[in-house]
Amino acid sequence: MYDVIIIGKGPAGIQAALYTARANLNTLILGKESPLRKSAKIDNYFGQKSISGTKLLETGLQQIQSVGAKCKEELVLNLSKEKNLFKIITDQNKYESKSVIIATGQPSQKIFIKNMEKFEGMGIHYCTTCDGFFYRDAKIGMLGYTDYVIEETKEMLTFTKNIVLLTHGKELTINENARNFIKEKSIPVITKKILSFQGTNALETVQFEDGSIEKFDGIFIAYGSASSVDFARKLGVAIKDNTLDVDKYQKTNIDGLFAAGDCTGGFKQISTAVGEGALAAKSAIEYIKNKKD
């Protein structure tokens, strides 16, 4: 059990971890490599005349571990909340925490398929927890190719067993447990690239690049890795302009859940992310302190 789990190992997440660990909170930071590592030279950050993104991040990670924060390179697949505790599933482990700070960077549109936006909310969805209930016993396509889509498929099986995995031309990039799961559940996989979604007033069929057409009642998109917005949808977090809506203290509308950095919009700079990470940490520290009191 952790006091705070931080999702994201960029500037916002590292700064938040530094504050929470120094406040004696049991802190874990999760995530794969930050995109900042691709920056060869950073010249506009206070105190650093010139530094690479890799060097800045490595220095920060060493710093937070020196004050007690734990750091694991694991991909977060699912975030939920039950009885005032947050539950996190990664590609390797499961964790529980009293609070969570999301610092996963800027969410992006990961896939573009003809008519996808047209049928959003009318057959095309992004959250099995939110919308799976409306597709009980229906034929569903789960669109994705990583462990993330497998985790979403597990949730969808609560509502229907008639599920097909659609990889949109990608090879499945999943762990051994996920492969065994697909085999055990006898879930068919279509690897053909999707040309378009078709229907009159709602989604009715999927047309593939080879000209073949297949009927579906709904498509749930879990393409690539889970983003901050994907986590937010599951928890009922307010979303504004495809970013997480937070107040001036980096609080979301969900108790114990905070967000910082590019995932909250605004001025996308290292200095801004660091400041927001500090604010989110301060709010998390106060939240945990009040729970103990």
Do 15 and 91 have their domain in common?
yes
Q: Check pLDDT > 80 for residue 40.
A: no
Confidence of residue 107 (pLDDT cuts 50, 70, 90): low
Residues 21 and 97 reside in one and the same domain:
yes
Mean of the per-residue pLDDT values of the chain: 92
Contact indicator for 116, 124 with CB cutoff of 8 Å = yes
Domain check: are 123 and 267 in the same one? Answer: no
- Counting beta carbons within 10 angstroms of the beta carbon of residue 73, is it exposed (0 to 12), middle (13 to 18) or buried (19 or more)? middle
**Are residue 216 and residue 279 in the same domain, yes or no?**
no
Residues 199 and 261 in one domain: no
Whether the CA torsion 89, 94, 98, 104 is positive or negative: it is: negative
Selected residue with higher pLDDT from 245 and 45: 245
Same domain, 55 and 126: no
Q: Do 155 and 235 fall into the same domain?
A: no
- The mean per-residue pLDDT over the stretch 140-163 comes to 95
The CATH number given to whatever domain includes residue 78 is 3.50.50.60
Domain boundary among 200, 221, 242: 221
Burial class (CB in 10 A: 0-12, 13-18, 19+), 88: buried
Taking the complete model, does pTM exceed 0.85, yes or no? no
Residues 183 and 251 placed together within one structural domain of the fold? no
Domain count along the chain? 2
Range of the structural domain that residue 133 is part of:
116-221
Domain stops at, among 221, 241, 265: 221
**Rounded CA separation 6/97 (Å):** 10
Banded model confidence at residue 49, pLDDT cuts 50, 70, 90:
confident
Query: Does 274 lie in the same domain as 132?
Result: no
- How would residue 130 be classed by pLDDT, with cut points 50, 70 and 90? confident
What pLDDT does residue 32 have?
Answer: 83
| 270 to 46, 88, 122, 289: CA distances (angstroms) | 10, 26, 39, 28
194-198/205-208 β-pairing: antiparallel
210 and 231 co-located in one domain: no
Q: Residue 108 has what pLDDT?
A: 55
Nearest in space to 176 (alpha carbons), one of 210, 147, 199? 147
Q: Which helix (H) or strand (E) holds 19?
A: helix 11-22
Would you tell me the crossing angle of helices 11-22 and 53-66 to the nearest 10 degrees? 20
Q: Residue 293: its pLDDT value, please?
A: 62
The predicted structure's pLDDT at residue 109? 52
Which residue, 195, 221, 247, sits at the end of a domain?
Answer: 221
Q: How far apart are CA 279 and CA 273, in angstroms?
A: 10
Structure confidence at residue 1 (pLDDT): 94
Quote the tokens at residue 226: 């889970």
Residues 75, 180: Cα–Cα separation, whole Å: 19
For residue range 202-230, what is the model confidence (pLDDT) as tens digits?
Answer: 999 999 999 999 999 999 999 887 888 88
Same domain? For 24 and 88 the reply is yes
Alpha helices in 23-157, H assignment, sequence order: 53-66, 128-131, 147-156
Mean pLDDT of 195-200: 97
Q: Are residues 34 and 129 in the same domain?
A: no
